[in-house]
Amino acid sequence: MIRLTDIKLPLDHPEEAIEQAILAKLLISQEQLISFNVFKRGYDARRKSNIILIYTLDVETSNEAQLLLDFASDNKIKQTPDMRYKFVAKAGEISERPVVIGLGPCGLFAGLVLAQMGFKPIILERGKEVRERTKDTFGFWRKKILNTESNVQFGEGGAGTFSDGKLYSQVKDPKHYSRKVLNEFVEAGAPEEILYVSKPHIGTFKLVTMVEQMRAKIIELGGEVRFEQRVDEIHFDDVDEKNSEQKREVTGLTLASGEHIKTKHIALAIGHSARDTFKILHEHGVFIKAKPFSVGFRIEHEQSVIDDARFGTNAGNPILGAADYKLVHHCKNGRSVYSFCMCPGGTVVAAASEENRLVTNGMSQYSRHERNANSAIVVGIEPKDFTEDGDTSNVLAGIDFQRQLEEKAFKLGGATYDAPVQLVGDFIAGRKTGEHGSVIPSYKPGVTYCDLSEALPDYAVAAIREALPAFERKIKGFSMDEATLTAVETRTSSPIQITRDKESLQSINVKGLFPAGEGAGYAGGILSAGIDGIKIAEAMALSMCSES
Ligand code: FAD
């Protein structure tokens, strides 16, 4: 097949225009064209009166070899790469089964690929299976009853289950692992379009069913999936090899129930909210370092404001769907403010996992039909910001910093899990908000109007005050007085990295421990966490094969 990239057509082009574009591009006749399919479809909406669709097409012709020679110097006409996934190993006799801790997207793919290679993994998840977890999460949103082990962060499917289900990422992917992730999702019930639209998303309800399907597949392949099994301790032995940087190796783990499981290979896919587990790992000498992350607020506008600003008269076109945005502003005080995890037509969600602490995030359904658009507007922070005196010696200080902000937000909201909210106009003017305007905040269980200048450090408040009017220049209406800010966003990514060796993907000081996914600092979203899960499964498989 030949891959054609950057084929541009008008938004309202007739179906046959694609074929015409192929013939014109390759200078071939209709008889020479055997078939084609759309590999990717994106759009360029920089000129909203002239929105362009941009296609990547895979084309089968009767004269492929000749065409590839003729167009050898055209980098938009190349042979279609082989993107099929190839397993790196096949299990033989298994003496001790590998263990995957955490059943978020990273653990799900690590577990699935290990199972597909025949390694029969044991997957341990502290939270509940997804249907039970959904009840607990909805219970929190409706009745303010927080289950600290079963919530938006913890449970089958991981942090992204109650999300917009955006499935794109900017990670380098030379081995096409993302294709494997998307293909598995489609097999588990995701809409086929995720394979070809440039910014696919699946929404929360579809994710719930898909996660269940994938669990069933792992079990069918001989894997074991256990819920409400929090890992509280990992055991190590000294390593014999003198020259090894890794002074210790994994021998097993202990669950909260007291049960011991023997294993030499652990994928640690625990997400960014497993603060208790981070502490245990640190106390046991697993190498951890602090890393930058971002903090801020969720902003909400009516979706129609964003649609009008981005698409103009084309707003509502089904190919475009609800409009999104991506914004960044570099501030005078040296900070950068950017939009993150934008959820078109969605809701702001209560994402707490600890008592008396409040944290926000965003989600939507596949249809993206809710009234409001939301995104996190966040400020980048460094480890030196985690403490007042800039001391960076405590590698877990980022967690303390997050907790302080989450406690402040809880108190500002009235100490009932209602979120503190301020109108954008009042925030910029430094005025307390008394009541809502035209944008009704979507956060459940409820909101309290207040002054959010106390919710973040002064430099972050100053940076966001400067950035909002700057964003207005890119999206008309963005800094409108009645848009709302809901506090607080603290879990944009992990505050730590559990550093691993680049080749073996094992912890740099513990053999057999494979830090993985977002919590370890190696992913930042559903797709990249899934990709990392595949990489980890491969590294574990190769390690197990080399030892047998
Ligand atoms: P997680 O998904 O966090 O999974 C870790 C799992 O480990 C959890 O299920 C947890 O219960 C379990 N665990 C933790 N500690 C232990 C232990 N000691 N023992 C046993 N189990 C343990 N990303 C996107 O790409 N698109 C989106 O639209 C999107 N929306 C989001 C919306 C919300 C509300 C949230 C919270 C996140 C969203 N994200 C989104 C981010 C995305 O969900 C994460 O990047 C992704 O889930 C990280 O995957 P992970 O597997 O590394 O970790």
Tens of pLDDT along 1-59?
999 999 999 999 999 999 999 999 999 999 999 999 999 999 999 999 999 999 999 99
In a domain, 315, yes or no: yes
Cite the beta strand spans of 149-292 per DSSP E: 224-226, 231-238, 248-255, 260-262, 266-268, 289-290
Q: Of ligand 1's atoms, which has the minimum distance to the CA of residue 230?
A: 19
Identify whether 88 is part of a domain.
no
Residue 341 Rama label (left phi>0; alpha psi -120 to 50; beta): left
334: CA distance to ligand 1 center in Å? 30
- Surface-to-core class of residue 96, CB atoms within 10 Å of its CB (0-12 exposed, 13-18 middle, 19+ buried): middle
Could you say which of 443, 458, 489 is where a domain stops? 489
**CA 114 / ligand 1 centre spacing (Å):** 20
Cβ atoms of residues 495 and 282 within 8 Å: no
Q: Residue of the nearest CA to atom 38 in ligand 1?
A: 160
pLDDT at 58: 98
Protein residue closest via CA to atom 14 of ligand 1: 270
Nearest CA residue ID for atom 6, ligand 1:
102
> Which of 29, 48, 79 marks a domain boundary?
79
CATH number of the domain where residue 49 is located: 3.30.70.2700
* Best residue for ligand 1 mutational test, from 125, 224, 494 (most atoms within 8 Å of Cβ): 125
| pLDDT tens track for 235-280 | 999 887 666 677 899 999 999 999 999 999 999 999 999 999 999 9
Task: Please indicate, yes or no, whether residues 481 and 506 belong to a single structural domain of this protein.
Answer: no
Q: Which domain holds residue 71?
A: 2-79
Rounded distance from Cα 275 to ligand 1 centre (Å): 13
Q: Which atom belonging to ligand 1 lies closest to the Cα atom of 491?
A: 36
Q: Say how many Å lie between the CA of residue 104 and the centre of ligand 1.
A: 5
pLDDT score, position 365: 86
Which residues, other chains included, contact 313 with Cβ-Cβ below 8 Å and sequence gap of 6+? 48, 49
In DSSP notation, 107-128 reads: HHHHHHHHHHTT---EEE-SS-
How many residues are recorded in the chain? Answer: 548
Query: Which residues fall within 8 angstroms of residue 318, CB to CB, at 6 or more apart?
Result: none
Atom of ligand 1 nearest to the CA of 343: 28
Q: What is the pLDDT of residue 242?
A: 64
Residue 86 lies in a domain: no
Atom of ligand 1 nearest to the CA of 163: 32
Q: Distance, CA 33 to ligand 1 centroid (Å)? A: 45
388 and 405 part of one domain: yes
Q: Is residue 280 in a domain?
A: yes
Cβ atoms 416, 144 nearer than 8 A = yes
- 200 with 308, same domain? no
How many domains are contained in the chain? 3
Best of 342, 526, 527 for a ligand 1 pocket test (most atoms within 8 Å of beta carbon): 526
171 located within any domain: yes
Any domain includes 531:
yes
What's the gap in Å between 135 CA and the centre of ligand 1? 18
Same-domain check for residues 39 and 162 = no
How far, in Å, CA of 293 to CA of 5, rounded?
35
Question: How far apart are the C-alpha atoms of 538 and 540, rounded to whole Å?
Answer: 5
Ligand 1 atom nearest residue 201's Cα: 28
Contact (CB, 8 A) for 92 and 187: no
Nearest CA owner, ligand 1 atom 26: 166
Mutate to test the pocket of ligand 1, among 132, 133, 161, 163 (most ligand atoms within 8 A of CB): 163
Tell how far the Cα of 164 is from the centroid of ligand 1, in angstroms: 13
- The CATH number linked to 148 is 3.50.50.60
Structure tokens at 229: 């099994």
Residues 250 and 348 in one domain: no
Residue 202, class by beta-carbon neighbours within 10 Å (0-12 exposed, 13-18 middle, 19+ buried)?
Answer: buried
Shared-domain flag, residues 168 and 186: yes
How confident is the model at residue 165, as a pLDDT?
85
Same domain membership, residue 392 and residue 377: yes
Q: What number does the ligand 1 atom closest to the CA of 532 have?
A: 52
Query: How far, in whole angstroms, is CA 82 from its chain's centroid?
Result: 26
514 alpha carbon – ligand 1 mean position (Å): 17
Q: Pairing between strand 99-101 and 122-124? A: parallel
- Does this model's pTM top 0.90? yes
Ligand 1 closest atom vs CA 149: 11
Ligand 1, residues at Cβ distance < 6 Å? 101-107, 124-127, 152, 154-155, 158-160, 162-166, 230-231, 269-271, 274, 277, 341, 349, 351, 361-363, 517-519, 523-527, 529
162 CA from centroid of ligand 1 (Å): 10
For ligand 1, atom 12: residue with the closest CA: 102
**Which atom of ligand 1 is closest in space to residue 524's alpha carbon?**
45
Q: What pLDDT was estimated at residue 152? A: 96
66 and 54 share a domain?
A: yes
CB 19 within 8 A of CB 7: no
Q: How far lies 39's CA from each of 36, 81, 82, 251, in Å?
A: 9, 12, 13, 45
**How far is the C-alpha of 326 from the C-alpha of 524, rounded, in Å?**
16
Distance CA 18, CA 9 (A): 8
Clarify whether residues 213 and 166 are in a common domain. yes
- Span between the terminal Cα atoms of the chain, in Å: 40
From 255, 259, 341, give the residue whose CB has the most ligand 1 atoms within 8 Å, as the site to mutate.
Answer: 341
Distance 133 CA to ligand 1 centre (A): 13
375 occurs within a structural domain: yes
Ligand 1, residue 165: give the atom nearest the CA: 28
Nearest C-alpha neighbor of 195 from the set 174, 215, 181: 181
Ligand 1 center to residue 501 CA distance, Å? 23
Expressed in angstroms and rounded, the spacing between residue 394 Cα and the centre of ligand 1 is 25
- From ligand 1's centre to the CA of 517, what distance in Å? 9
Q: What's the gap in Å between 266 CA and the centre of ligand 1?
A: 18
Whether 252 and 347 map to the same domain: the answer is: no
Q: Is residue 90 part of a domain?
A: no
CA distance 376 to 186: 28
The last residue of a domain, from among 27, 50, 79: 79
Q: Are strands 248-255 and 510-511 parallel, antiparallel or unpaired?
A: parallel
Check whether residue 321 and residue 304 sit in a common domain. yes
Q: What is the pLDDT of residues 326-343, one digit of tens each?
A: 999 999 999 999 999 999
Claim to verify: residue 307 and residue 220 sit in the same structural domain? no
Low-confidence ranges of the chain (pLDDT < 50): none
